[in-house]
Amino acid sequence: MKKQLIAASAISLATALAAPAMAQDATDTDREQEASEAEGQRGGGFDEIIVTGRAGTSELRKAEASYAVTTLSDEALRITNPASAAETFKLVPGFWVESSGGEGSNNVRARGIPTDGYSSVALQENGISVQYDGGLGYLNADQSFRFDETIARVEAVRGGPASIYAPNAPGGVVNFITRKGSDNPGGLVKYTWGDYGLNRVDAYYGTSLDDNWGVFVGGFYRESDGMRDMGFKAEKGGQIRGTIDYDDGRNSFALDVKHIEDKVPFYLPVPLTYDENGDIADVPGFDSRSDTLAGGDTTRIDILNVGQPYDFDLTEGSHTQLTQVTLTGALALSDVVRLESKTRYKNADMLRNAVFPTGNVTPIDDYLASLSGALAAFPGATGLQAQYVSDGEVLTSSTNGNGLVIGGNLLSVSVPIDEIIADNRLVAEVEAGGTHNLALGITYGSADYRFDRYMGTSLLDVQGNARLVDVVALDANGDVFGSVTDGGFLRYGSIYDNVSIGAENVAIYGGDEWQITPELRVDAAARWEKINIKGLVAQKSTVSLGDDSTLADDNVLTGNGVFTPVDRSFDDWGWTVGVNYQFSRYAGVFARYTDTFRLPSAGEYNGNPTRTDQRSVPIKMAELGVKYGSSVFNLFATAFYSKFEGVSFTNYRFNEETNQYDDPQVVIADTETFGVELEALVKPAEFFDFALQATWQDPQYKGFTYTDQAGNVVDYDGNQLIRVPKLALRAVPGINLFDGRLRAELEVEHYTKRYPDIANNQTLPSYTLLNINARGEVTNNIILGLNITNLTNELGLTEGNPRAGSFDAGDANAEYFLARPVFGRTVRASLSFMF
C-alpha cells in the first residue's frame, strides 16, 4: 500500500516511455532501469501495456505507441476522486470539458471538434462503446455510465487511430477498464460524505476461484441535495455490476452485467450581471455558484396538453434505468492467429426533466411594457400586472430584491432505447521483413429508440428556486379581466415531438503494425462504414384548448396523426498511417496522418425528418509527438492539426414573442485547428513532484459566410470556435510524506477566455480554479480521502445561453445575461476499508 500513494495524480500526466529491447551500454541500461522503477511506483511504469486505439496479438507498451495516449491508474483515480465521467476527461490534455451540467449530459471536445456532447469522442467500457453514437440527440453517452470504484484504470487516446478502431471517435477514445475477479482485487467498502448533503457508499469484492476463473461484484448507492440547491433530494440511486471471467493465458472470456437505477439533476445556465468595474457578478438575491432557478413552484406541475395534462416531475431529473450485458472473449486459433469478440446489449429508459431558462433576463416593468399588445385580447382591460401564482402577491421592481423575470422552459424528454453493438476481429502476428501485427474486423451496431418531447414555457422571477409568475389584465377598477398566462405558463405545448427511429451501422476495418527494426515501426489502418436510418416522425399542428380567459392555451403544438418517414443511408471510408521511432528506451518520436469522417447521426432527424443538409463530414488530422522519460523528468509533447470540412451548423433560437423556436438556419462551413498538447512530470525527490498538462490551440471557423434573416451578408471566417479556450492548463504540485503513506496535492486549473456564439460577440472570461486532493493510509486497511473543489469559490463560466442562438447570442452589452458557471466550493471526505 505504501507505494500506491506516492505521486498518485502524476500518473495522469506522466506518459510512460519504453521501447523494444535494443543494444545499449551499461550506463543507459542503469539509467532506464531507475526510470522504470520510479514510474512503477506511480502505477504507470515505462513498460505499461496499453489496449486502446489498436488491434494486434502482441503487447504494446505505452512508449511504443504512434499516437497520443494518457493512462490514469487506480491510484490516480482514487486521489482525484472524479465526480463524473466528464471530470475524468479533465485529467487528460487535449480535451475541453464542460462538467458543469452535473453527473450526466455534459460536453466534451478535443482538437478543434466543432460538436458538443460525446458525438465525436467515444466513451468506452472495457474496449467497447457505451453507446455506438455518443451524441444521439438528448442521449449523451455519459447518461449510460457512472464512475465508481469498480473502475480500475482509464486509457485515453486523442485523435490518431481512434476513428478507425472505434465508431464516432475522430476526437479520441476514453476507455474505462473495470476490475475483474481473476486479478484477485480483494474487497473494499468506502463511505463518502459531501457538504451538499452527499452520503454515498461504494463497495466491491473480487476473487480468483482458481488459476483461471474469477468473480467480481461491486457498485454504489448515493443520495444528495445536488451541487446546486434544488429544494429537494436531487441525486438518488446507484448501480451494481457483476462479472465472471476466465483467462488461461491463451484464451479468455468475461461476462459482465451492469444495472443503473439513478436520478441526477441537469443544471442549466443562470442569470448574471456586471459590477461597477465591468466584471461578471451575481444578480442581487441569486448566488450563481449554488442557486438554480429550478425547484419550488416547478417541482411538480401539470402542463396542459390535448387530452390528459402532462405530469412534469422535476424530481425525476435525468433518470437512467439501464441494464447492460457485455460478453467479451479471445480464442487462440493457432500460435499466431486469434479471434477477439466483444458484444454489448443495452436496454435503457432515459428521462430528462429540467427547467431551461430562455430569452432575456428583464426588469418586470420593461417586461410588462413589452406585452402591451396583449391588451387587445381583453377588450376593456387597461393595464397589466405581474403576480405570484402561489399567493397572488404583486411582483414589482422591489418585491424579490431585483425585480427581474425570465422565461423558463419546462422540458421533458423520454428516450427508451434498445441497442446491440458487436465487434469481431481476427488478429495475427506474421514475420515478413520484420514483424507484422495484422487485424481484420467487422463492427455492427443497431439501435432502436423513441424520442418523445413535450414542453411548456413559463414565466419565473429571478431567485434561488424561482417562483412562477402570472401576468393578468386589469380593468379600470383594478380587477382581473383576463390573464396572459395560466398558472405561470406563457404557452402550453411550445415543443412537441413523437419520433421512432432505428439506426443500423456496419463497419469493416483492417490494420497492420509493422515493426521494421527494433527502433522503427510503421502502422496503417483503414475503415469503411455505412449507416441506415429509418423511422417515423410525427407531423405537428397548432390547436387551441379553448380557454378564452387566457392566452397560454391558444397555440398548443401537438401531433396531427400523420407521420413522415425517414429513410436515409450514408457511407464513407477513412485511413490512418503512423510512424514511431525510438532513439533509446527512454526517448522517441512519432508522426501520424489521418483522413477520416463522421457519419450523420440519426438524432439529427428527430425534429426535422426532411432535412437535406446531412452528409458525411470529412476530417483530416495530423500530429507529431516527442516523448522522453527518466527517473527525474518525463515529457510527452504533441503538435496537432485538424480540419473538419462541410460541417452543418444549425442556429436554434428561442423566440420570446412566440414562445417557440424560430425555424432553424443552417450554414455549411469548415473548421481548422492548430495546437500543442503537453504532459510533463518533474520528480526531484521522493517527497515532492510537479506535474503539468497544457493544451494550446487556435480553433477557427473557415468559410463561415451566410445571409441572415434580415438579408445581410455575415462573415465569421477566422472566428474562434465556440466555448473552447485557446489555452487550458492544469498544474499539480504534490508532496509525499511518511514513507508514502500520505499524499497531498494542489490542482491549479486555468482556462483563457471563450465565446458562446460563433459571432464571438459575448465573452466568457478566463478563470482559474484551485482544488485540493489528499489521501492517507491510516493502517494497511484504512484510508482517508479529502477532495476540495473550487477552493476560492471562483466564478467561472463554461457555457452561455445556447437558446439565444449559437450564431449570434444577441446584445453583448446587455446588463443581464445567462451563462452556466462551474460549481462553487464543495468538500468531500471519504473513509475506505480494504480487505
Q: Are 178 and 241 in contact (CB under 8 A)?
A: yes
φ, ψ dihedrals at 646, nearest 5°: 65, 45
Integer CA distances (angstroms), 709 to 49, 62, 651, 664, in order: 55, 52, 12, 11
On whether the pTM is more than 0.85, the answer is yes
DSSP string, 661-673: EPPPEEEEEEEEE
| E strand or H helix at 77 | helix 74-80
Integer CA distances (angstroms), 606 to 302, 536, 598, 609, in order: 25, 9, 18, 7
Q: Are 683 and 689 in contact (CB under 8 A)?
A: yes
Ranges of residues in the chain with a pLDDT under 50 are: 1-45
φ, ψ dihedrals at 366, nearest 5°: -65, -40
pLDDT at residue 45 in the model: 47
DSSP string, 765-833: --EEEEEEEEEEESSSSEEEEEEEESTT----EEE--GGG-SS--S-TT-SEEEEEEPP--EEEEEEEE
Burial (CB < 10 A; 0-12, 13-18, 19+), residue 278, is: exposed
**Residue for grid cell 424530481:** 315
**Residue for grid cell 521501447:** 19
Query: 3-class DSSP state for residue 540?
Result: strand
Q: What is the pLDDT of residues 557-589, one digit of tens each?
A: 999 999 999 999 999 999 999 999 999 888 899
2-357+410-468+482-834 is classed in which CATH architecture?
Beta Barrel (2.40)
Q: What is the CA radius of gyration of the chain?
A: 28
Integer CA distances (angstroms), 634 to 447, 557, 689, 692, 693, in order: 43, 59, 11, 10, 12
Q: How many helices (H) and strands (E) does the chain have?
A: 5, 44
* Angle, CA of 629, 630 and 634, to the nearest 5°: 45
Question: What sign does the dihedral 286-288-293-296 (CA atoms) show?
Answer: negative
Rounded to an integer, what distance in angstroms lies between the CA atom of residue 765 and that of residue 757?
A: 14
Q: Are 190 and 203 in contact (CB under 8 A)?
A: yes
Q: Are 691 and 13 in contact (CB under 8 A)?
A: yes
| E strand or H helix at 313 | strand 310-313
Rounded to an integer, what distance in angstroms lies between the CA atom of residue 196 and that of residue 178?
A: 28
Query: 3-class DSSP state for residue 402?
Result: coil
Query: In sequence order, what are the beta bridge partners of 833?
Result: 189, 782
Alpha-helical regions (H) of 417-539? none
Rounded to an integer, what distance in angstroms lies between the CA atom of residue 648 and that of residue 478?
A: 52
Rounded to an integer, what distance in angstroms lies between the CA atom of residue 155 and that of residue 459?
A: 46
**Residue for grid cell 474486423:** 441
Rounded to an integer, what distance in angstroms lies between the CA atom of residue 206 and that of residue 152?
A: 12
335 torsion bin: left (phi>0), alpha (psi -120 to 50), beta (else): alpha
772 torsion bin: left (phi>0), alpha (psi -120 to 50), beta (else): beta
Residue partners of 230: CB distance under 8 A and separation at least 6? 265, 292, 294, 295, 314, 465
pLDDT at residue 110 in the model: 86
Rounded to an integer, what distance in angstroms lies between the CA atom of residue 779 and that of residue 123?
A: 36
pLDDT at residue 812 in the model: 66
Rounded to an integer, what distance in angstroms lies between the CA atom of residue 11 and that of residue 300?
A: 46
pLDDT at residue 811 in the model: 65
Domain ranges of the chain: 2-357+410-468+482-834
Rounded to an integer, what distance in angstroms lies between the CA atom of residue 526 and that of residue 574?
A: 6
Q: Are 578 and 625 in contact (CB under 8 A)?
A: no
Alpha-carbon dihedral 539, 545, 551, 552, rounded to 10 degrees: -70
Rounded to an integer, what distance in angstroms lies between the CA atom of residue 240 and that of residue 31?
A: 45
Integer CA distances (angstroms), 554 to 312, 357, 561, 729, in order: 20, 22, 20, 52
**Residue for grid cell 446489449:** 345
Q: What is the pLDDT of residues 162-199, one digit of tens each?
A: 899 999 999 999 999 999 999 999 999 999 999 999 99
DSSP β-ladder status, 235-247 and 213-224: antiparallel
